[in-house]
Amino acid sequence: MLYPIATESRVVVNLSGIWKFMTDKEVEPIEVSQPLPTNEVVAVPASFNDQTVSKETRMHSGYFWYEKEFTIAKALRNERLVLRFGSATHEAWVYLNGKEITYHKGGFTPFEVEINNYLVDGPNRLTVRLSNLLDYTTLPVGNYSEEKDENGRIIRKVDENFDFFNYAGLHRPVNIYTTPRDYIEDIVIVPNVDLAAKKADVHFSIKTAGAFDEVRVTVLDEEGKQVAQASGNDTNISIDNVQLWQPLNAYLYTAKVEGVKGGETVDVYEESFGVRKVEVSSGKFLINGEPFYFKGFGKHEDTFVQGRGLNEAYNVLDINLMKQMGANSFRTSHYPYSEEMMRLCDREGIVVIDETPAVGLFHGFGFDLSGKNANSTWSVLKTTEAHEQVIRELIDRDKNHACVVLWSIANEPASHIEGAHEYFEPLFNLARQLDPQKRPCTFVNILMATPNADKCSDLVDVIALNRYYGWYLQTGDLSKAEEETRKELLEWQEKYPDKPIMYTEYGADTVAGFHSAYGEPFSEEYQEDYYRMNSKVFDEISNFVGEQLWNFADFQTKFGIQRVQGNKKGIFTREREPKMVVRYLSNRWNNIPNFG
Ligand code: GCB
């Protein structure tokens, strides 16, 4: 699915702004033939939760409604008109002028529908019913329960099986875009680069709908100069003296794709792409033939008021802070991030580990670290279908992004429990089959799934570990934590000598401004000591290819005795003020080259 852009043949109408809003108390059915019976409003794109002063609305679990009126200019009415949601969290039923026109489940991927047949002259009423319910069939996984109150009303509850607040709503842009009746439907770009010859063969497959006499692809360089041109739905273009897309030194070509009919260009779409080679070989992660070292973060889409909604100013600031620290990468923990962020990373040369929303695949997670309930994980959870769907939708959406170098199929599943391998093997096969660029794949491993216990690491190209020695284990005892860290990393290296190893999480909750002469846990001193200890061990391990800490910034979570208005493992506060450790890490990372 192509990202909506304006071109010589396409117009984008942005429906962002103020929408009507109401939660559904499920007392009386909502009549979609009528305007929503509410005076409440919310801004789109954003989560609804933090825009209200009502605690009840903020914490609402169940169904809720959005509505917006729009008019389409007469000049556009003969075009093909497509309504597109960047995402709708987590499930959406879409009505236009009272008729259901589409449905989508899964809160982090786009979907679209043609609307010509449902439009009326004058104002059109777009109504969306959403649900933020999560259960054992959805991704992320939620612990769902319901009860009836004294009036017989159903009270629904979702206890997140993961450590971030269950923000919901229309988090990403809602657009109507036009195409001609004959149009370019999708573009798949696969660059193959001969590094020694500085030459790339770029394969384009163009999916079109309707009848074109010719499909033409023109590759333009960053100055807009033509590099090469070819014709056909399946075509190769060679680029001599190719400029590579490099981490923190991005170079983007543009593929101008034209559908031509009767000598006239009918539809035009421009897709930018980078030429780079990603491989895993002999315990190294190679980008453009050189061993790359990941320095960076696990993140969240999480800001004040907007919640999980697109916040482009924060995206820009976050990348600027990363660059200033000498970081080069992040993981989209724990769900696909906005398309706007992916496009920004392409342009800024930020390397991305692209993660599905498969988080919480651990029965009883959070209140049962002993793992008693975990034993039933793979018989209790029914997430296979949702998991296949998110892999399909994520790879379909992000396949052309140069910034994406590794797919993360899941975060912290119970990969040490019987049944895990059977669950994951087909999913890894699916991802590998679907990705036209054949990027490496991994899943992010939880601390109980040690080298002896884990059942799935044979499936991965990169061993990606979330470890909390010195925080959840050996709390406050960094010398014991150092021993455990070293011991486990050496065990992984011995067991899988050809697989690169990296940390995708390590961190310590730290209350900004809290100091301790004894370096106690939660103090800024402890956070720094904790990172110094980890760095020391990383530098001893030869197959260690990267450190992505947890977390870039403090973020909102559900309530819990371990959380003080959210998770405080950020090295920045939620406002993006640095904690003390940022100086140490900036110094370290600015002195570690991206390659070597
Ligand atoms: C983890 C999870 C992450 C949590 C983090 C923590 O292992 O992947 O979602 O926020 O630990 O801080 O506990």
pLDDT in tens, 305-358: 999 999 999 999 999 999 999 999 999 999 999 999 999 999 999 999 999 999
In Å, how far are 384, 500, 535, 592 from 492, measured between CA atoms? 28, 10, 17, 23
What is the set of active-site residues? 412, 505
Per-residue confidence (pLDDT) for residue 367, from 0 to 100: 53
Ligand 1 contact, 556 CB (< 6 A): no
Contacts of 473 (CB under 8 A, 6+ apart): 447, 481, 484
Per-residue confidence (pLDDT) for residue 466, from 0 to 100: 98
Show the low-confidence residues of the chain (pLDDT under 50).
none
How much distance in Å is there from the Cα of 445 to the middle of ligand 1?
A: 11
Burial level of 346, CB count in 10 A (0-12/13-18/19+)? buried
Nearest CA to ligand 1 atom 6: 163
Phi, psi values for residue 133, rounded to 5°: -80, 140
Contacts of 407 (CB under 8 A, 6+ apart): 353, 354, 355, 356, 394, 395, 431, 435, 439, 440, 441, 442
Residue 288, beta-bridge partner list: none
Say if the ipTM goes beyond 0.90: yes
For ligand 1, mutation pick of 300, 308, 475, 505 (most atoms within 8 Å of CB): 505
Residue 295, beta-bridge partner list: 547
Ligand 1 contact, 412 CB (< 6 A): yes
Tally of residues, the chain: 596
Per-residue confidence (pLDDT) for residue 373, from 0 to 100: 82
Nearest CA to ligand 1 atom 3: 163
Q: Which atom of ligand 1 is nearest to the CA of 334?
A: 9
Per-residue confidence (pLDDT) for residue 359, from 0 to 100: 98
For ligand 1, mutation pick of 160, 163, 551, 574 (most atoms within 8 Å of CB): 163
